Structure 1
Amino acid sequence: MARVVFLCLLLSVLAVAQAADQTAGKAPRLPLNDGRSIPALGLGTFLGFDEKGQKAAKEREVENAVSWALKAGYRLIDTASLYNNEHLVASGIEESGVKREDVFIVTKLGTPEQRDVLGSLRKSLQRLNTSYVDLYLIHFPIAFKADLKTYDVIDYLDTWRAMEEAHAQGLARSIGVSNFNVTQMQRLLDNCRVKPAVLQVEVNLNLAQEALLNFTRQHDIQVMAYSPFGSLFDSNPAPPPPRVGDETLVTIAGKYKKTTPQVVLRYLIQRGVVPIPKSVRKEKIEQNIDVFDFELTPEEMDTLSKFNKNYRLVWPTFWQDHPYYPFEQSDKPGPNPFEGVKE
């Protein structure tokens, strides 16, 4: 009888532990400067561009990815109004069976929405089927009219004041920015009441963002990394190495019995940023979060840092005439892939 009682107690403890693990997810949480915390890795849901412009989601593509991710232990899902998929993200969360309060939802204020921050956020909340988001970001410091082609010059400090109001009303638990440079971040810090909790920018092996990361560390701002794989899967020879089969990456991955993308994600995590890799393949989604059971050595971190070439994969030069454009100028700006996109 005693043995039966012991086994029942053991099973009960294991069940509680398993339930707690399912609630917390696989990624540890990192503190934010507003007293909240953020999962150390998340799922990105932007599908990118093709020859027709911004890609439209195929049937079940986003819903499945979000549901698979949450079942695999992700607890951070990143979206944006410009992605036109917030409603699909909501369906994926519902289908996963994971409670809303256990999911850290990130969405972003679109470039045509900066004149009505609260109204735009409420529309996002409606699409996401939630009363709040865990993190709301200004997607770009630049603003456009609804056609996404005509400049609208709005001081991002004015936009930020409305973001602070969204925070005060509880519509956004945390607020932050995306694609701001150091100068813009400093100006924002000099004029804000609520410090941004997060800055989301491109960070990968090709683009180390050392100056920006040093700045955010000094000001206790958490960095999220979009495009964390850089040109790892790029068939175009123009971007700098490495590619997925790079000998250095393969050697390190073999040592830990991991894939090269997992090594890249681990490298970013150890640099203190939150990567948000995107995938619509179940196997890859599950692999991408399986990176918390090994640690790269300081020597391996140094080796991987040498891939940095300050090469920007996401470089929207078609917007460079805007007064708040945050990136380097180009002699040959490209076409606007957002043309034809409707809010």
Structure 2
Amino acid sequence: MKTYQMNNGLTIPAIGFGTYLSKDGEEVYQAVLSALEAGYRHIDTAAYYGNEESIGRAIKDSGIPREELFITTKLWNDAHGYEEAKAALQYSLDRLQLDYLDLYLIHWPNPVQLRDRWQAANADSWRAMEEMVEAGLIRTIGVSNFLVHHMEELLKTAKIIPAVNQLRLAPGVYQTRIVDYCKDKGIVLEAWSPLGRGELFSHPTMLALAEKYGKTVAQIALAWSWSQGFLPLPKSVTPSRIRENLDFQDILLSEEDITAITAIEGVTGAYDPDNISF
């Protein structure tokens, strides 16, 4: 599996298995087992997803040595703060049945209940996360859905520069300013919903390119993600599609086709983290 090197010197598998909206219980358990069997070694979840316990069971039952896996979860909006973040991490570790995480992210920068003090809440959460790195409970820390002004505020007090920023990135969804900012600082860009919200599968540009390259629309979208240096996190609960979503690594998109994919219109865009209702 191809890897990216992070700014802390560690590596991360260049594709991850997304689990958002995968139901806790048998659905996500079987999906993660199928992903691990197919060759995924990077699993992405979050406290908010409500499926950490079943994912932890699948990881354990897979029999794959822990050191071969890269496991990510995230700090939810109701646990921002120094003590709160420490407690939330331990709760996630317990549900996942893990001794440590490979990556822990602040899920959103500006929760609605913290609109008047989000800067201090992020700084306190980050300080706790930095201490948990020192304690060996987390190997890497990062953020999710942070824009440039959120990053700049965090870096005023951070001792550790975030290694990852997980953003909504897909054909037709390219957040140029924050992408350029992260690339300049050596921050890995993970792409959540890299296959779009369903619109891509009927988009004429994507259908034409899928036919041209003899691949699926999903595989073209994932190849585009790699062409931009992004780390995609495709989600599926169907074993055949889980396997299919790994079969894009031989696609070499032309510059013309990359430009056409980037410029696609009619795709659901990214949320504004300063105006979300949660």
TM-score when normalising by structure 2: 0.91
Pair 1:228-2:209 in alignment = no
User: Radius of gyration: which is bigger?
Assistant: 1
Tell me the equivalent position of 1:40.
14
Among 130, 136, 159, the alignment partner of 2:125 is 159
RMSD between superposed Cα atoms in Å: 2.1
Query: Following the alignment from structure 1 to structure 2, what is the Cα–Cα distance between the partners of residues 152 and 85?
Result: 31
Partners of 2:111 and 2:257 in 1: CA distance: 41
Q: How big is the shift at 1:59?
A: 4.4
Instruction: Evaluate the alpha carbon distance shift between residue 293 and residue 264 of structure 1 in structure 2; reply closer, same or farther with a 3 A threshold.
Output: same
1:209 to 161, 175, 193: 175
CA distance in 2, matches of 1:108, 1:303: 33
What fraction of aligned residue pairs are identical, expressed as a percent?
Answer: 37
What is the CA-CA distance between 1:167 and the residue it aligns to?
1.0
**Alignment partners' CA distance in 1, 2:128 and 2:190:** 22
Q: 1:41-73, CA deviations, whole angstroms, 9 ceiling, x for partnerless residues?
A: 11111107xxxxxxxx26410001101001101
> 1:107 maps to which residue?
73
Q: In terms of mean alpha carbon deviation, does 60-69 or 134-143 score higher?
A: 134-143
Give the Cα separation in 1 of the matches to 2:7 and 2:53.
29
Q: Deviations over 1:219-276 (max 9, x none)?
A: 1100111111223x24xxxxxxxx3133322222223221011101110111011110
1:176/1:198 contact within 8 Å kept: yes
- Secondary structure of the corresponding residue to residue 166 of structure 1: helix
CA distance in 1, matches of 2:24, 2:97: 21
- C-alpha deviation, 1:306, in angstroms: 1.4
1:28 partnered with 2:31: no
Distance in 2, matches of 1:279 and 1:170, equals: 32
Conserved? CA contact 2:24–2:54, under 8 Å:
no
Give, in whole Å, the separation in 2 of the partners of 1:58 and 1:160. 28
Once the two structures are TM-superposed, the CA of residue 188 in structure 1 deviates from its matched residue by: 1.7
Which residue of structure 2 lines up, in the alignment, with residue 240 of structure 1? none
Match of 2:109 among 131, 141, 148: 141
Q: What are the within-5 Å matches in structure 2 for residues 251-270 of structure 1?
A: 251-270=208-227
Distance 2:124 2:195 in 1: 34
Residue 122 of structure 1 pairs with residue 122 of structure 2: no
CA drift at 1:191: 2.4
| Equivalent residues of 1:79, 1:86 under 8 A apart | yes
| Structure 2 partner of 1:275 | 232
Query: 1:111 & 1:91 partners in 2: Cα distance?
Result: 25
Q: Deviations over 1:262-295 (max 9, x none)?
A: 1011101110111101111111111111111221
Match of 2:40 in 1: 74
SS in 2 for 1:201: strand
State which drifts further: 214-223 or 108-117: 108-117
The 1:179/1:84 distance shift into structure 2, 3 A limit, reads same
1:211/1:143 CA distance change after superposition, 3 Å: closer
CA displacement at 1:194 relative to structure 2 = 0.5
Q: Distance in 2 between matches of 1:294 and 1:72?
A: 19
The structural deviation recorded for 1:189 is: 2.2
Aligned to 1:169: 135
Q: In the alignment, which residue of structure 2 is the partner of 1:200?
A: 166
Deviation by residue 1:280-333 (Cα, 9 ceiling, x = unmatched): 1111111111111221111111111111578525x37xxxxxxxxx34x5xxx8
Question: Does 2:189 correspond to 1:189?
Answer: no
Q: How many residues align?
A: 274
Structure 1, 122-131 or 184-193: larger mean CA deviation: 184-193
Residue 260 of structure 2 aligns with which residue? 303
Partner of 2:247: 290
Tell me, yes or no, if the aligned pair for 2:29 and 2:54 is still in contact at 8 Å: yes
Unaligned runs of 5+ in 1: 1-26, 49-56, 235-242, 317-325, 339-343
Answer yes or no: is the 8 Å Cα contact 1:143–1:152 preserved in 2.
Answer: no
